[in-house]
Amino acid sequence: MDIQKLYSLFKECSRVTTDSRNISGGELFIALIGENFNGNEFALKALEAGAKYAVVDQESTAAVSGDERIIPVPDTLVALQALGRHHRENTFVNGKRLTVIGLTGTNGKTTTKELITLVLSAKYNVTATRGNLNNDIGVPLSLLTIDDKTELAVIEMGANHPDDISRLVGVSEPDFGLITNVGRAHLLGFGSFEGVKKAKGQLYDYLAAHGGRAFVNTDDPDLTAMAADRWPSGDFIPYGLSMMKAKTLPSSAEHPFLMMRLPGGLVIETHLAGAYNATNVVAALAVGLHFGVSLEEGIKAIEGYIPKNNRSQMEKTERNILIEDAYNANPTSMAAALDNLVQVEADRKVALLGDMRELGEESLAEHQKVLAQVLSMGLDFVCLVGEEFRKALIGREKDNVFWFADSERLAAWLRDNPVSGATILVKGSRGIQMEKALPEL
């Protein structure tokens, strides 16, 4: 594959897409293969719909169609990644190679990415990962949205397996990096908590090897130790609640969102649910300060951020206050969400919790820990969804603890047993689809 030739064709196109249904005209269509689809089968249809070129596997039927707009390559995913990396390497700002900030972590990646992007946008034109397009496909696609107006790029990277971050930093080539935290998630893929730290730490490894710098939350002993291993001289950029002397303020039913006080009388009033988001806020402010965004400008940007997609959302319905954190769950984020529910001042509190996925052999023990925590909180009642919580509940049944096989059955029960006047935490792994219960609340 001649990457320079492919890049010249990319420059002729309006954008890159891997979905033949998403053609409006002038695109470079890249035919990827997944478990349940083969993009090569739709390459000719993409061209008919208006795509300018289509990149296909050289062994595919489309490759021998005779259409000059077909670009055959040995591996379309490798081509996509190479194209993303080449574009990143050939984008310059004022004669210097574009600065890329890489972001990963167990929890809070997308929220922190959104906050950092908003803060930096107070001064710069920023291109950032859209949504959570943070995998082998999403990272190069995000890089390929960088245009001649981009002054900084913020690229989110996710990982479920030991070498995921190593591959993604090889594509995005970050100059700066930030790990939000390391926790007990995807243990089925990582094997252990040490495996999580090693995998996420590949961002630090890349930065240390290539003269980059990391933003490190020095309130977090794991991240501090990981950074010290790579930069024994302490040549990283520290931040943290203690360093910024920031304090979270009590939330209530009248004002359930995260509020923080900084020295000098500065107060941050966010639309984020949960004190656990305080470190994400401080991370964004620290990145902004490093790049010349004032504290006041950063605070203004953060106060304007409204979460979506069930990520740290707080919603007041006609009957209840909902803490919607149903996009994903793991032991670390579940414990933080429950700790936050304890701190909320409310007369009546309820937790609706779904299974945590991909925990391997530690799944039962981790669900038992969550159950022990939630039972100690004195909640009005608790609803649990999923097979893992069923196992954890054996021998610990309580009159105010209800179990459901799936979220549809939970929603039906809530329809028959309406809840009013409560502050309700809704959290679970993506596959449990806890958001199905929201309309009944």
Q: For residue 1, how far is the Cα from the chain centroid?
A: 32
Domains, the chain, ranges and CATH? 3-74 (3.40.1390.10), 91-303 (3.40.1190.10), 313-440 (3.90.190.20)
Q: How confident is the model over 188-198, as a mean pLDDT?
A: 80
Q: How far, in Å, CA of 257 to CA of 271, rounded? A: 5
Query: What percent helix, strand, coil does the chain show, rounded to 5?
Result: 40, 20, 40
pLDDT digits over 215-272, tens only?
A: 999 999 999 999 999 999 999 999 999 999 999 988 766 677 899 999 988 999 998 8
pLDDT digits over 294-335, tens only?
A: 999 999 999 999 887 666 687 889 999 898 887 778 898 898
- Given pLDDT bands bounded at 50, 70 and 90, which one contains residue 1? low
State the pTM of this model: 0.86
The number of helices, as runs of H, and strands, as runs of E, in the chain is 17, 21
Q: How far, in Å, CA of 388 to CA of 357, rounded? A: 9
- So what's the pLDDT on residue 160? 81
pLDDT digits over 139-158, tens only?
A: 999 999 999 999 999 999 99
- Average pLDDT value for the chain: 92
pLDDT top residue among 275 and 384: 384
Q: How confident is the model over 358-369, as a mean pLDDT?
A: 91
- Given pLDDT bands bounded at 50, 70 and 90, which one contains residue 161? confident
Percentage of the chain exceeding pLDDT 70: 97
Distances (CA, A) of 73 to 12, 36, 54, 140, 206: 18, 21, 10, 17, 28
- So what's the pLDDT on residue 330? 86
- So what's the pLDDT on residue 224? 97
- So what's the pLDDT on residue 186? 60
- Given pLDDT bands bounded at 50, 70 and 90, which one contains residue 386? very high
The answer, yes or no, to whether residue 182 has pLDDT greater than 80, is yes
